[in-house]
Amino acid sequence: MGSGQAVAVFGAYGHTGRFVVAELRDRGYVPVLSGRDAGKLEALAVSFPGLDVRPASVGDPASLDRALAGTAAVINTAGPFAATAAPVIEAALRTGVPYVDVAAEIEANADTFAHFADRAAGSVIVPAMAFFGGLGDLLATAAMGDWTAADEAHVAYALSSWHPTAGTRASGTVSRERRDGRRVRFTNGKLDYHEDALPSLKWTFPEPMGVRPVIGEFSMADVVTIPSHLAVPELHSYMTVEAVGDLSAPDTPAPAAADERGRSDQTFLIDVVVRSGGAERRATASGQDIYAITAPLAVEAVHRILTGRTRTTGVASAGKIFDAAGFLSALSAHLSFELRR
């Protein structure tokens, strides 16, 4: 459990931010509510009486410094991260606190590694500590185990549905604009921007799910996090057809609460396979609500950072900085994890 330390949540009133605030309180931390909209912060504070409200804007560095003052860490949940990640990281470096974000934007995460790798010595910056990017990276790292390299890695997502939040749609728009509408994949050891049509394939998920139609090269933040520290020159990703259809449809509604914790009824399964020569290793995780699961991922990351259970410093993905299998096992109340080597 936390020790009553204060943790700033930038974008606290957003869909994922609210889950993070609740998870921090459940873990014994004291969330500091921050973001650019003072009215939304005050409204959120009604549901969490007694919490400090500190409005801040990415265009006002002094306000960010005030938001982080006296805190032990900051979790950035405010997208699009192309606009928020760098200013909040700068504030974290100035105030000397660890930074964690939940960015699923490929370009924003690549920017974090590129722009802060040489400036973050002795600090801790963990981008993409979320369902997309963080969870896949942890699974791939756990599957690799004692392998120092692999020929290829595959990350297959099975979502029962995908009701995107407004933040997901906004971040997706920014990403498409940044890559001029092109698609992106990781091949031959680098990110490759292309205009090829995405292939329709089938993936054999663990039973009872079995064989499902998927869209191939449906790249998410894993194409940045996994290759940032694992020697895997080919990384392929897949998404079930139904989820792609939901995400693509402009009239798909936002997620709706289906239980007392505010989670939707969406379920997920991530199946990660790494291959080297003729050998294959596999790790899977399943649970409920891709947005809700991001909260325990991010808060567990902060908890491990603040309790000294990290393997490195600087800009590092989840799989590099944490004991991947131990991290996933610690989330047993939130997801099921299975490792097959």
Residue-by-residue DSSP string for 274-321: EEETTEEEEEEEEEE-TTTTHHHHHHHHHHHHHTT--S--EE--HHHH
Collect the ranges in the chain with pLDDT lower than 70: 1-2
- The verdict on 63 and 149 lying in the same domain is no
221 and 307 fall within a common domain = no
Helices (H), 96-234: 106-116, 136-144, 166-178, 222-225
Say whether both 232 and 155 belong to one domain: yes
Q: Based on the fold, state whether residues 155 and 112 are members of the same structural domain.
A: no
| 77 lies in the same domain as 209 | no
For residue 32, what are the contacts with CB-CB under 8 A and spacing of at least 6?
6, 7, 8, 9, 51, 52, 54, 67, 71
Domain presence at residue 16: yes
Is 173 within the bounds of a domain?
yes
Radius of gyration (C-alpha) of the chain in whole angstroms? 19
- Structure tokens, 235: 């990384």
65 is a domain residue: yes
For residues 104 and 21, state if they share a domain.
yes
Q: In this predicted model, what pLDDT tens digit does every residue of 327-339 receive, in sequence order?
A: 999 999 999 999 9
Query: Both 144 and 79 in a single domain?
Result: no
Q: Give residue 10's pLDDT.
A: 98
Q: Give the chain's domain count.
A: 2
Tell me whether residue 330 is in a domain. no
Residues in the chain: 341
> Are 247 and 104 in a shared domain?
no
CB neighbours of 299 closer than 8 A, spacing ≥ 6?
Answer: 20, 23, 24, 27, 29, 75
Q: Which residue is listed with tokens 């931010």?
A: 17
User: Token pair of 201, please?
Assistant: 């394939």
Q: What integer pLDDT is reported at residue 1 of this predicted model?
A: 63
Q: Domain for residue 275, yes or no?
A: yes
Asked whether residue 157 falls in the same domain as residue 262, the answer is: yes
Structural domain that includes position 66: 6-131+294-325
Asked whether residue 272 falls in the same domain as residue 147, the answer is: yes
Q: Is residue 48 helix, strand or coil?
A: coil
Shared domain for 117 and 148, answered yes or no, is no
Nearest alpha-carbon partner for 165 in 49, 8, 294: 294
**Closest C-alpha to 34, from 9, 14, 51:** 9
The neighbouring-strand residues paired with 100 are: 75, 126
Quick check: is 1 in a domain?
Answer: no
| 83: nearest Cα among 150, 178, 153 | 178
Q: What is the pTM of this model?
A: 0.97
Are 280 and 146 in a shared domain?
yes
83 within 8 A of 60, measured Cβ to Cβ: no
Give the residue among 261, 300, 267, 226 at the shortest CA–CA distance from 19.
261
Whose tokens are 């009604």? That residue is: 46
> What's the pLDDT at 2?
67
Determine, yes or no, domain membership for 308: yes
CATH of the domain at 49: 3.40.50.720
Question: Residue 258 sits in a domain of what CATH number?
Answer: 3.30.360
Q: How far apart are the C-alpha atoms of 21 and 7, rounded to whole Å?
A: 9
